[in-house]
Amino acid sequence: MFRRLRVVEAPVLALEGDGKRLGFWGQMVDKGYALMDNKQIKWSTLGAIMLISAIIPLFASNYMISVLLSAMFYMLLAIGLNVIVGYCGLCDLGYAAKFAIGAYTTGILIKSFTWNFWLTLPVSIVVSVIAACIIGLPTLRLRSDYFAIVTLGFGEITRITARNLSITGSATGLNAIPRPSFFGIHLVEMSHWYYVFLVLVILFIVITNRLKNSRFGRALEYIREDEDAAQAMGVDTTKYKLYAYIMGAVLGGITGSFYAVRMSAISPDSFIFTQSAYVLLAVVLGGMGKIPGVILGAAFFAIFPELFRDIPVIGNLRMLFFGILLVFVMIKRPQGLWPERRR
């Protein structure tokens, strides 16, 4: 009986200590994972989120819809970058170049060659794949800081090239890009673009979630955790990293194409390094490798500064408070707001 009590008490003490180490938010995240193991609760929660998201334009102002559009735009970029950073463990500091390629491809085909927007999407995907191969094939053998520096340079090369080519509009960029139609509906209203971006977010979530749960996703996870061990076990690390880089570039290119027609104007200043840093910040803040965490990080990044815009004193200093809050969150939650489930 004495031995039996000792066997039972040891895990309880470990769990209590672990709970103190995790803190309140960490315990809540673990409880959320346990709660979502119930399929009825899981699908009911997802259904409620979808219903609320679908009816927001019915009562929201244009300003609120604009903020949500910005949040969904960063969600799309963060989901694409999450494939590279979160799944594969590569540090990409030039992700702005990925959606710049998609945006300029669509803008040039529409403005210079009068293409239909929907026909430019396959071309944008192909160009994104080619660009990813050009930068990925010679550099993906590099690791950590070296790869990050190369991607940073690629981002700056893309921006400077767009600034100096006449077909991209040089420094002024491309203006008056016509907005597309969808089954006779001309996409000009805020609510129209809200639903377009909502569908894109759902589509990106489904694609990347299936990718994560596939054999390919498991190989990326092995590479992220220990590339040398993965290579020793027979995983072609260079090939899988290239595929992950291409996938992230394709998602970024598609986002850039929709960004171009949504804004009706693009310029090199829209694709500066700060944009790449913002997207990377959203991924790290939310929780690398976890789709709900990435979405939460992007929403937090886009919405939180707007909450204090109209406050007289705090409004001008809202980014200062936002920076302080980011530092606080990273100190208290270094693994992100919604990290991977603990095993």
User: Quick check: is 27 in a domain?
Assistant: no
Pair 189, 63: CB distance under 8 Å: no
Question: Is pTM, for the whole model, over 0.75?
Answer: yes
Provide the pLDDT for residue 70. 92
> Quick check: helix, strand or coil at residue 185?
strand
Pair 252, 102: CB distance under 8 Å: yes
Reported as a pLDDT band with limits 50, 70 and 90, residue 314 is low
13 or 119: which leads in pLDDT? 119
Q: What are 163-193's pLDDT values in tens digits?
A: 999 999 888 899 989 999 998 889 999 999 9
User: How far out from the chain centre does Cα 20 lie?
Assistant: 31
Q: Give how many domains the chain has, as a whole number.
A: 1
- Domain range spanning residue 288? 67-332
User: Quick check: is 20 in a domain?
Assistant: no
38 or 238: which leads in pLDDT? 238
User: Quick check: is 125 in a domain?
Assistant: yes
High-pLDDT (> 90) share of the chain, %? 43
As a whole number of angstroms, the distance between CA 94 and CA 174 comes to 21
Q: Helices 96-113 and 144-164, interaxial angle, to 10°?
A: 20
Q: What are 273-304's pLDDT values in tens digits?
A: 888 888 998 898 888 888 888 998 898 888 87
User: Quick check: is 3 in a domain?
Assistant: no
pLDDT above 70 for 313: no
pLDDT above 60 for 135: yes
**CATH code assigned at 148:** 1.10.3470
What region does 144 belong to: left with phi over 0, alpha with psi -120 to 50, or beta? Answer: left
Provide the pLDDT for residue 12. 37
pLDDT above 80 for 218: yes
User: Quick check: is 81 in a domain?
Assistant: yes
Pair 253, 125: CB distance under 8 Å: yes
Instruction: Find all residues with CB under 8 Å of 74, minimum gap 6, and list them.
Output: 278, 279, 282, 298, 299, 301, 302
User: Quick check: is 247 in a domain?
Assistant: yes
Q: What are 80-99's pLDDT values in tens digits?
A: 999 999 999 888 888 999 99
Pair 78, 297: CB distance under 8 Å: yes
As a whole number of angstroms, the distance between CA 76 and CA 197 comes to 8
User: Quick check: is 17 in a domain?
Assistant: no
Q: What are phi and psi of 291, to 5 degrees?
A: -65, -50
As a whole number of angstroms, the distance between CA 278 and CA 305 comes to 13
pLDDT (average), residues 239-248: 93
High-pLDDT (> 70) share of the chain, %? 88
User: Quick check: is 291 in a domain?
Assistant: yes
pLDDT above 60 for 267: yes
> Quick check: helix, strand or coil at residue 256?
helix
8 or 84: which leads in pLDDT? 84
